[in-house]
């Protein structure tokens, strides 16, 4: 849920550029929005990979325990 909420901020910045006319604010908002989306992508990818690795580890550990019992 928190990942979805954190996605709203950079998307809101990129959408609000429509109403900004000062070039220095526009450049700052573009840079912050793009880097925030890249950062968000990296965090989601890392979370997904770690979740997949640890889920496989738990399944393997559970299978090992049931075989030795």
pLDDT digit string, tens, across residues 31-49 = 888 888 888 899 889 999 9
How many residues belong to the chain? 69
Mean pLDDT of the chain: 79
For the beta carbon of residue 28, count every other beta carbon within 10 angstroms. Answer: 13
pTM: 0.59
Asked if 26 contacts 20 with a C-beta cutoff of 8 angstroms, the reply is yes
10 CB contacts (<8 Å, ≥6 apart)? 32, 33, 34, 36, 37, 40
């Amino acid at each position: 849920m928190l990942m979805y909420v954190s996605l709203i901020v950079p998307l809101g910045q990129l959408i609000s550029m429509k109403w900004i006319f000062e070039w220095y604010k526009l450049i700052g908002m573009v840079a912050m929005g793009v880097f925030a989306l890249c950062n968000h992508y990296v965090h989601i990818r890392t979370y997904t990979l770690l979740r997949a690795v640890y889920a496989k580890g738990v399944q393997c550990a559970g299978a090992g325990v049931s075989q030795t019992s």
